[in-house]
Amino acid sequence: MSDSLRHADILALARTAGKVTVDGLAARFGVTVQTIRRDLTALDSMGQLSRVHGGAVLPSGTTNIAHAERRQLGAAAKARMAEAAAHEVQPGMTVFVGIGTSTEALAKALLHHSDLQVLTNNFHVAEILAANSGANLILTGGAYRRSDGGLVGPAAIATIRQFRCDLAVFGCSALDERGDMLDFDMAEVEVNRAILDHARRRILLADHSKLDRRAPVRVGSLSDVDLLITDRPLPSPLAEACAGWGTEVRAV
C-alpha cells in the first residue's frame, strides 16, 4: 500500500475512533512501528492529526469536531455512560441536560423514565425526549447554534438562574492533566458555569478521548463535579486528585 493510501485510511480510522495508536496501526497495515510513526508525523505536520504519546488524535486547537462526526465517535462508550447517568435520575427530579453528543445519548436513555422535569439548552435533547410523555420539557431559550442545536447566551443563562435543579448532566470538549474542564465556545462555557451554580448535584460525562484533546476556555474543575462518568480509569495522578476533592469517578 502506498503512503498516500495508508494516510487516507489512518485519517478515516481516526475520525471513527477519535484516536489511533502506533501499535494498532502497525498491526493493521502489516508495517513497522517506525513506518507508522513517520506516517503520523507527516499527518501532524499537515495539520490533519495531532501526535500524542503512543499515537495520534484528531486536531482540536480552537475549533471543535463537527457535531455529526462527534456523534459517531465512541458511540458505544457514550451509550454506556448515558445508561450509568440515567440510573442517577429518580422520579420527581428536575434535571438539567446540557449540550453535547453524550447528553443526547442520555436523552435516549431517559425515554422510559417518568415523572421528570427536564430543563435543557440542547434542541436535540428536546426532540428526543418529546417522545417521552412522562417528561415535562423546558427549553431555556437563547441564541440557536446551528452547528449542534445548542441554545446559548444571556437568555439561556437567565432561564437557568430561575431554577435550582436536583441534578445537572453536562459534557466538555477536553480535560487537562490538572482536572480542568475545557471547551471552545465562551457562550457555552458561560451557560455551563451557570448550571454548576444552580444544581444540587453535578454529573460530567467525559470519555477517555477528552484527555487527549485541547480546548482554550476553562469551564471549571473536576473539583466542582460530584460524579465523573467515563469509559476508562483516569491516569493515577488525576484519579488521586479527584479522590482528594471528593469527586466520585465511575468508569463504565
Report pLDDT digits (tens) over 92-112: 999 999 999 999 999 999 999
Instruction: Please state, in angstroms and rounded to a whole number, the distance separating the CA atoms of residues 203 and 121.
Output: 16
Structural domains in the chain plus CATH codes: 3-57 (1.10.10.10), 67-251 (3.40.50.1360)
Give pLDDT tens digits for 23-50.
999 999 999 999 999 999 998 888 778 8
Contact predicate 177/162, CB 8 Å: no
pLDDT value at 141 more than 60: yes
| pLDDT reported for residue 62 | 45
The pLDDT assigned to 168 comes to 98
pLDDT of residue 59: 66
Output the pTM of the full model.
0.74
pLDDT at 51: 85
Q: Helix %, strand %, coil % for the chain, to 5?
A: 40, 25, 35
Q: How far is CA 208 from the centre of its chain?
A: 9
> What are the distances in angstroms from CA 33 to CA 30, 143, 173, 189, 201?
9, 48, 30, 40, 46
Per cent of the chain over pLDDT 70 is 92
In 130-171, where does DSSP find H-type helix? 154-160
With a CB cutoff of 8 Å and minimum separation 6, the contacts of 135 are 110, 113, 114, 116, 117, 118, 129
Question: What per-residue confidence (pLDDT) applies to 63?
Answer: 47
The pLDDT confidence band at residue 4, using thresholds 50, 70 and 90, is confident
For the stretch 110-137, pLDDT in tens is 999 999 999 999 999 999 999 999 999 9
| Under 8 Å between Cβ of 57 and 49 | yes
- Helix or strand holding residue 21 (H, E): strand 19-21
Return the higher-pLDDT residue of 21 and 69: 21
